[in-house]
Amino acid sequence: MTKIVFEDADGNRQAAEVDAGTSVMQAAMDSSVAGILADCGGGCSCATCHCFVTRGVFPDPDEIESQMLECVLEPEVSSRLSCQLIVREDMDGLVIKLPRNQI
Ligand code: FES
C-alpha cells in the first residue's frame, strides 16, 4: 500500500492508503475526498477530477489530457487530471493538492 495525501485549498489534509496501480481519482473516490468529482468515471472527458501535482512525479500528460486541462478553471503548471495518474509503490507520502473551485 502507498500512502497519498489529499490537501484542500485551505490546507486541510486527508490521507489514503492506496494499492499500486490505482488511479489518484479512484483513491479519492474510495476515501470520499471532497473536491474530486470525477463525473465521467475516469474517462478523461469531464475534467472534474482536476488536481495539482508537482511536475515530474508522473509521466507528462498525453494529448487528450492536455486538451482537457484547457477546460479547467484556474489551471496551473502543476494541473493534472487525477484519473490519469496511476499510483506507484515509490510514491509513499505524495501530496495531491485540490483546487478550491471543486469543493
Ligand atoms: S474523471 Fe472525468 S476527466 Fe477524470
The model's confidence at residue 101, banded by pLDDT at 50, 70 and 90, is confident
* Sequence-separated (6 or more) residues with CB below 8 Å from residue 80: 50, 51, 52, 53, 58, 61, 65, 69
Cell 506507484 appears where? 88
Domain 2-102 = CATH 3.10.20.30: yes
The atom number, within ligand 1, closest to the CA of 41 reads 1
- Percent of the chain at pLDDT > 70 equals 99
Pocket test for ligand 1, best of 24, 30, 48 (most atoms within 8 A of CB): 48
Q: Where are the domains of the chain?
A: 2-102
Whole-number mean pLDDT of the chain?
A: 95
The pLDDT tens digits for 6-17 are 999 999 999 999
Binding pocket residue ranges, ligand 1, CB within 6 Å: 25, 38-40, 42-49, 68, 81, 83
CA-to-CA dists, residue 71 to 45, 68, 76, 81, angstroms: 10, 5, 12, 11
Residue nearest (by alpha carbon) to ligand 1 atom 3: 44
The atom number, within ligand 1, closest to the CA of 82 reads 4
